[in-house]
Structure 1
Amino acid sequence: MERVLITGGASGIGAATAQRCRDEGFEVVIIDRAGDGIIADLSDPAETARALRQALAGGPITRLVNNVGIICPAGADEQTLDELELTFSLNLRCAFQCMQALLPGMKAASFGRIVNMSSRAALGKELRTAYAATKAGLIGMTRVWALELGEHGITANAIGPGPIRTELFERGNPPDAPRTQAIINAVPVRRIGTPEDIAHAVSYFLDSRCGFTTGQVLYVCGGMTVGVAGI
């Protein structure tokens, strides 16, 4: 059975992606700080390395979803260095570390699929200095990996979700709040996305038949990036 590693797969988008992968016949390996998978604090490089060794003890993994992430909302004049370093470590360094750990197995198989979870915020969003910087960084890494790894049968793509109805989103945006309705009104399809919407996009990039698509960013945002993202 082919294996897929999903970081932050215990809840939200990660959990929906994990279920979609199981439905499609993959053996799913999850690393998260909670849940039933490998427990680790992925903001810590040593913990990440330990968890990756544990994940690979069961054999090579040729599909990777770098999903784990954190948001530290703050104005540009209030964002702290500690928040910047934490966001960088979890959102960007962890993805790089996971890629390097799985790469030998992918090269040996002459096959690999890497999906990086970026964000619409990579295009710019208020109160998101650290978050937007790291999510834009993921797009940059995705493009470099696509160029460097393509000859080995390895693709690298990114997804940029818009507003998605996760537990975290609903805590900050109650369904009956005017702010939530304003968000919905700003989405051309007039609804908030679901984790399953993102899982569907991940599934496309993970497919063995998706070998001619690499270095791309797919914004799954209900149309919110139209007029903002470049052609």
Structure 2
Amino acid sequence: MHPVSLRRLRRVERINLPDLSTVLDLNLRPAVQIAQALLPTMKQSGWGRIVNISSLAALGLANRTSYGAAKAGLISLTRTWALELAKTGITVNAIAPGMIETEMFHEKVSPGSKEEQLYSSMIPMGRFGQIKEIAAAIAFFCSGEAAFITGQTLFVDGGASIGRSLI
């Protein structure tokens, strides 16, 4: 299945069930497989960090049932694994990016377009996130300073998860 077909926006009554299965499989299965592959070594060393990448869409966005469900599933895995691994020295957290300025974003939204202005106006900070800001959040969760943080989801979204600015 071509990835472009998975980004197609669909109302709930028009969801293609094979596409739903593919989106869930592409987002959840690798997280489980990677965790299973690395956990024996992490447990043996008594230390480890798992950081899942979710999305602002986990909170619900119209026409994004499949993607939102998959990203909400990653938050559920994060919380469940954090409980299961709490006494092992392994922490499990998630990053939930909002609109991040990437090549893929600009394939859909032209720089300087009215559409880009509309999207940025929905973000309280009035701008898109940068890849380095996501990397910094991941680096924090992987650091020793985050050793007492587990089961959490950090929304790196310019305030979009808390609502729109009234100004």
Whether the 8 Å CA contact 1:72–1:83 is kept in 2: the answer is no
Q: Is the 8 A contact 1:173 1:180 kept in 2?
A: yes
Residues 71, 154 of structure 1: CA spacing in aligned structure 2 closer, same or farther, 3 A cutoff? farther
More divergent stretch after superposition (71-80 vs 103-112)? 71-80
Task: Report the residue type matching 1:162 in the other structure.
Answer: G
Cα distance, 1:150 vs structure 2: 1.2
Letter in 1 for 2:100: I
2:96 aligned with 1:160: yes
Identify which of 71, 75, 97 aligns with 1:135. 71
* 1:187 match: 123
Return the alpha-carbon distance in structure 2 between the equivalents of residues 168 and 111 of structure 1: 35
**For 1:182-223, what per-residue CA distance to the aligned partner results, in whole angstroms no more than 9, with x for missing partners?**
111111111111111100100000113311000001000001
- Distance, in Å, in 2 between the alignment partners of 1:198 and 1:224 is 15
- 5+ residue gaps, structure 1: 1-69
Provide TM-score, normalisation by structure 2.
0.90
2:29 to 76, 81, 93: 93
- Paired with 1:123 and 1:101, the residues of 2 have a C-alpha distance of 29
**Distance in 2 (alpha carbons) for counterparts of 1:138 and 1:201:** 17
Task: Note closer, same or farther for the CA distance 1:153–1:72 as it changes in structure 2 (3 Å cut).
Answer: farther
Identity %: 45
Shift of 1:124: 0.4
Which of the residues 205, 208, 213 maps onto 2:141? 205
Give the deviation of 1:72 after TM superposition.
4.8
Whichever structure has more strand as a proportion of its residues is 1
- Residue 173 of structure 1 corresponds to 109
SS at 1:151's partner residue?
coil
Q: Name the SS of the counterpart of 1:152 in structure 2.
A: coil
1:78 alignment counterpart: 14
Distance 2:147 2:60 in 1: 30
User: TM-score w.r.t. structure 1 length?
Assistant: 0.66
The 1:71–1:146 alpha-carbon spacing in structure 2 relative to 1, beyond 3 Å, is: farther
Alpha-carbon deviations, 1:155-197, whole Å to 9, x = none? 0001110000111101111112212101111111111111111
Q: Is the 8 A contact 1:92 1:138 kept in 2?
A: yes
RMSD over aligned CA atoms reads 1.4
Give the whole-Å Cα distance in 1 for the aligned partners of 2:142 and 2:15. Answer: 35
Change (3 A) 1:72 1:204: farther
Q: Which amino acid aligns with 2:42?
A: M
